[in-house]
Amino acid sequence: MAKKTSPAGTPALLALARAGVAHEVRAYEHDPRSGLSFGEEAAVALGVEPARVLKTLVAAVDGALTVAVVPVTGQLDLKALATAVGGKRATMADPGAAERATGYVIGGISPLGQRSRLATVVDASAATYPTVLVSAGRRGLDVELAPADLIALTGAVVAVVAR
């Protein structure tokens, strides 16, 4: 996989470039009328297996914002997320709080290059693929990279947090 950067580099793409991580930028035309979730829309538009496309969700675990990266084909198991980071209770974060903490808008939140470094958990299923796709920091822009690089760059814990 070649290193690519976008002329309009998002913080996620800039973080990848700084780290020297091999990745491929994958752009598509976001259609707000598609009726699909952001991740499902990306999988269809990019022609990739939906389980390889990961969505970035922000939850509050015992009050601390925490990032979960799970396949778009699944749902986040909040109890498993809390357990993965040594917490007791998790709830989905307020969308405004998620946007402020990450610096990204809902539907374009990337696990990379966030404004505040949040505890991150990547679902274990990601490791079954040679590459995965995550948001590159805006709707209609994904980045493909090796799961090991995603985990290393985010300092993520790997656990089963999707169902």
Q: What is the pLDDT of residues 47-83, one digit of tens each?
A: 899 999 999 999 999 999 999 999 999 999 999 999 9
- Of 88, 94, 96, nearest to 61 by C-alpha is 88
| pLDDT value of position 62 | 97
- Of 59, 11, 70, nearest to 37 by C-alpha is 70
**Poorest-confidence range of 3-7, 10-14, 56-60?**
3-7
Q: Which residues pair with 25 in a beta bridge?
A: 143
User: Domains plus CATH for the chain?
Assistant: 11-159 (3.90.960.10)
Whole-model pTM above 0.85?
yes
